[in-house]
Amino acid sequence: MGQVIFKDQIYTFEQIRSGNWQPDDKYLSQSLQFCKEWLDGKTDFEISTSGSTGKPKSIIIKRSQMELSAAATKAFFKINKSPKLLVCINTQMIGGKMMLVRGLCWDADIYLITPEANPLIDLSLQKKIDFCAMVPLQVEACLKESISTTKLSNIETLIIGGTPSSLSLIQKIKAAGINAFQTYGMTETVSHIALAKINASELIYHTLPNIKIGTDDANRLWIEASMVIEKRLQTNDLVEIIADGVFRWIGRADFTINSGGIKIQAEALEAELQKYIKPIFGEINYFVFGQKDEMLGQKLVLFLEYKKDNENKVHELLEILKKEMKKYHCPKEIFILEMFVKTPSGKINRTKTAELCF
């Protein structure tokens, strides 16, 4: 039977189920409580959505859906019996909860770490980790330190989710030779339903077993799968179907900017802007947005998360973009904010951030 390891404390699944534990650490206590409820056979779990495109809400996810999701991931990666899992993301959100569920279903040794920017820096572990999930911010932090980069490279399979990885991060992952996959999924799909191997110039997603996908008239992805809450879940993600169960993600339909009749895909443009922003501002958070405009309908603007009073850098960037970018792809204005508004799960809330300036 598996166990949960937190620092120097070990809790067997049998001990967790018995309730014979009283940890002082709040994160550990919350995680063990979920494990106990699972081992006791609880059938319904209330989980909050991330709130990246709207107000966060609570939804009920059934045990059977979580079991199906865990089984599909195990089949996709051909996970061996009794693996070693590293859980270092928030176990109050769907991604972290599903890492616990996978460990419980796979009879795994679950190495639990309080979520931090670099969860590997102080990790002392002799045995190799078979499976781990991180958010891009954590991977970025790990790659800044040689010690944690080595530890990251030693993880058998790393999945990265929560938000898309930047182009520069993808390049670093490839350069470090890390066996990593970008995930596609959401709370409503009970974690990921597709994965893209980070080893090429672009990410091509392959669905997990027994998942059917298609698009509506607007090229927005729909999903049919036994672990998904709705019979057919219509998403707001624009995709290109390449083959059966294989697709390329383009961006969010609700992030599409219509400027003078020209439709601009925010995420695609952001990836293009990186090579101009990074040399001037370094690796910072940024996004493009459509500001209401009487003439254009929406005016393309750029937001940078950076310290204020950098008008010279802003002017330098604007001049470069005017020379290098297509007319409609060049931001008409740049806003600098010292801190973006984030969702509870750490994603950038574009609308709330933009409202600070409009």
Which positions ≥6 away from 200 have C-beta within 8 Å?
Answer: none
Of the candidates 52, 72, 50, 49, the residue with the CA atom closest to the CA atom of residue 61: 49
> Which long-range CB contacts under 8 A does 126-130 form with residues at least 24 apart?
127/84, 128/84, 128/154, 128/155, 128/156, 129/84, 129/85, 129/86, 129/154, 129/155, 129/156, 130/79, 130/80, 130/83, 130/84, 130/85, 130/155, 130/156, 130/157
Q: Is the pLDDT of residue 44 over 70?
A: yes
Helices (H), 198-286: 266-281
> 3-state class of 126 per DSSP?
coil
What is the model's pLDDT at position 98?
A: 97
**pLDDT tens-place string over residues 143-166:** 999 999 999 999 999 999 988 888
Model pTM greater than 0.85?
Answer: yes
pLDDT for the residue numbered 331: 96
pLDDT in tens, 193-243: 999 999 876 899 999 999 999 999 999 999 999 998 788 999 999 999 999
| Domains of the chain and any CATH numbers | 3-253 (3.40.50.12780), 256-355 (3.30.300.30)
Q: Tens digits of per-residue pLDDT, 311-354?
A: 899 999 999 999 999 999 999 999 999 999 988 777 899 999 99
Q: Take residue 236 and report the two structure tokens written for it.
A: 């707001």
Higher-confidence residue: 101 or 7? Answer: 101
